[in-house]
Amino acid sequence: MNIIDELEWRDAINQTTDEDGLRELTAEKSVGLYCGVDPTGDSMHIGHLIPFMMLKRFQLAGHHPYIIIGGGTGSIGDPSGKNTERVLQSMEQVHHNEQALTAQMTKLFGQDSNISIVNNYDWLSKISLLDFLRDYGKLFNVNSMLAKDVVASRLEVGISFTEFTYQILQSVDFLHLLRHHDVQLQIGGADQWGNITAGIDLIHKELGSDTKAYGLTIPLMLKADGTKFGKTAGGAVWLNPEKTTPYEFYQFWLNQDDRDVVKYLKFFTFLTSDQIAEYQKSVETAPEKREAQRHLAREVTEFVHSPEAVIEAEHISAALFSGEVKELTTSEIEQGFKNMPSVELAAEPENIVELLVNTKIESSKRQAREDITNGAIRINGEKIQDLDFVINPAKEFDGKFVIIRRGKKKYWLGRVNG
The stretch 93-116 carries a mean pLDDT of 88
Per the residue annotation, which of 17, 18, 23, 45 is the catalytic one?
A: 45
The stretch 89-111 carries a mean pLDDT of 89
Per the residue annotation, which of 57, 82, 223, 415 is the catalytic one?
A: 82
Per the residue annotation, which of 16, 167, 170, 335 is the catalytic one?
A: 170
- Kindly report the pTM of this predicted structure: 0.86
Top-confidence residue, 182 or 395? 182
Per the residue annotation, which of 23, 57, 86, 96 is the catalytic one?
A: 86
pLDDT at 146: 86
pLDDT at 77: 76
Give every CB contact of residue 59 below 8 A, 6+ residues apart in sequence: 65, 109, 114, 115
Determine whether 15 is an active site residue: no
Determine whether 45 is an active site residue: yes
Per the residue annotation, which of 180, 228, 289, 410 is the catalytic one?
A: 228
Give every CB contact of residue 369 below 8 A, 6+ residues apart in sequence: 353, 387
Q: 3-state class of 259 per DSSP?
A: helix
Whether the predicted pLDDT of 190 surpasses 70: yes
The CA distance from 142 to 317, in Å, is: 56
Q: 3-state class of 256 per DSSP?
A: coil
Determine whether 181 is an active site residue: no
Determine whether 86 is an active site residue: yes
Determine whether 285 is an active site residue: no
Determine whether 191 is an active site residue: yes
Determine whether 107 is an active site residue: no
Which of 224-233, 261-270, 391-400 bottoms out in mean pLDDT, i.e. has the lowest? 224-233
The CA distance from 323 to 313, in Å, is: 15
pLDDT at 239: 94
pLDDT at 271: 93
Determine whether 232 is an active site residue: yes
Determine whether 126 is an active site residue: no
The CA distance from 370 to 365, in Å, is: 8
Contact status, residue 175 vs residue 199, Cβ threshold 8 Å: yes
Determine whether 228 is an active site residue: yes
β 410-416/401-406 pair status: antiparallel
pLDDT at 202: 96
| Helical ranges in 213-364 per DSSP H | 246-254, 258-268, 273-285, 291-304, 307-322, 330-336, 352-358
Three-point CA angle 320, 324, 327, nearest 5°: 105
Render pLDDT for 339-382 as a digit per residue (tens, 0 to 9).
888 999 998 999 999 999 999 999 999 999 999 999 999 999 89
Three-point CA angle 49, 54, 58, nearest 5°: 140
pLDDT at 232: 64
Whether the predicted pLDDT of 89 surpasses 90: no
The stretch 246-268 carries a mean pLDDT of 94
> Which residues, listed in sequence order, are joined to residue 402 by a DSSP beta bridge?
414
Render pLDDT for 155-177 as a digit per residue (tens, 0 to 9).
777 888 888 898 899 999 999 99
